[in-house]
Amino acid sequence: MSIYSYMTQEGFDKLRADLELLKSEGRSNAAKAIAEAREKGDLSENAEYDAAKDAQGMLEAKINELEKAMAKARVIDESELDTSRVTILSNVRLRNLKNNKEITYKLVSETEADLKAKKISVNSPIGQGVLGQEVGDKVEIETPGGIIQFEILEISL
């Protein structure tokens, strides 16, 4: 696995905003929940206190995870990318050779992947299969649903 995580400026900004929200509001809410639970008496038999402490632990783990992602993040300038080959941030129009259906995906980092928005991770089976390929290339991609053959029709930004 790469030591860097490449992403768009938009993805980086969202990651930073999520981290700041967890650090400010998230920590504040966790502290309030612990304080309220403490007021209810004996901490040794206080389920609310235990739940609040567990929630705080999960919050800190999430903050740590986002901080690591920020440290590994490298923002890519889309204007410097080459469209002769599929790279991260490429829009790739593919034709499924079995059923002749076409679909377009944008290859993004794992943190930006969103299948509903047709953004797939470069580390996904399809992302790995098309990375580095050119228009006209045919690729076989092993997916959880079996092997699928695609032809690369277009590469754009």
In one-letter notation, the amino acid at residue 7 is M
End-to-end CA distance of the chain: 25
38 and 70 belong to one structural domain: yes
Q: Domain with 20 in it: what CATH number?
A: 1.10.287.180
Domain boundary among 37, 57, 75: 75
Measured CA to CA, the distance from residue 17 to residue 23 in angstroms comes to 10
Here the CATH number for the domain that contains residue 97 is: 3.10.50.30
pLDDT in tens, 77-131: 777 778 889 988 899 999 999 999 999 999 988 888 899 999 999 889 999 999 9
| Per-residue pLDDT tens over the stretch 15-48 | 999 999 999 999 999 999 988 888 877 767 778 8
Is the domain of 82 the same as that of 71? no
Q: Do residues 104 and 91 touch, judged by C-beta distance below 8 A?
A: yes
Percent pLDDT > 70 in the chain is 98
Same domain, 110 and 56: no
Number of domains into which the chain is organized: 2
Q: Is the pTM of this model over 0.85?
A: no
- 91 & 134 share domain: yes
Considering the domain architecture, whether residues 23 and 83 belong to the same structural domain is answered as no
What SS3 state is found at 98? coil
Host domain of residue 110: 78-156
Structure tokens at 35: 């304080």
Q: Are residues 14 and 68 in the same domain?
A: yes
pLDDT at residue 101, rounded to an integer: 95
